[in-house]
Amino acid sequence: MIDRTDFLDRFGGVFEHSPFIAERALDAGAVPQPLTAAGVHAALTDAFRKSSAQEQLGVLRAHPDLAGKLAIAGGLTEDSRKEQAGAGLDRLSPDEHARFTAFNTGYTEKFGFPFIIAVKGLDKSDILAAFETRIGNTADEEFETAKAQVERIALLRLNALLPGD
């Protein structure tokens, strides 16, 4: 059985800068033993889904822009840095960077949170295509899509930390 401090240290950042998700999952007794990626993911996802819309929006807003200012300044979390680098977002040409910046700006202005996508297995052209498609979503559609992407990112992060079932 993992103790509270260890659990929060290990899994508090799985939902970007939102340790309250891990705290609530643990406090609800929803984390099954032994710890597996699927079990912890189910508990964290349940806590995320039960949080208020305002709290969910806060989780979305905690995510960095793709290839944005934080990436350039080296201010990403280690997980975000690795994820973006894996998709080649740390090696954009000036034209590609300008395109990402324009998409990030337009998307955030329209929806009020950054574009979020689980980048594992994608490259920059896949991500740009998703930007182009999703910018046409309604606010409600995109809120749901972004939350699903956050949950997918959490699962990918947990798969790197824990064994599967």
Residues labelled catalytic: 63
CA distance 100 to 94: 10
Closest CA to 79 of 152, 6, 23, 154: 154
DSSP output for 119-159 = -TT--HHHHHHHHHHHTTS-HHHHHHHHHHHHHHHHHHHHH
Per residue in 41-53, is it b (16+ CB within 10 Å) or e — as a string?
bbbbbebbeebee
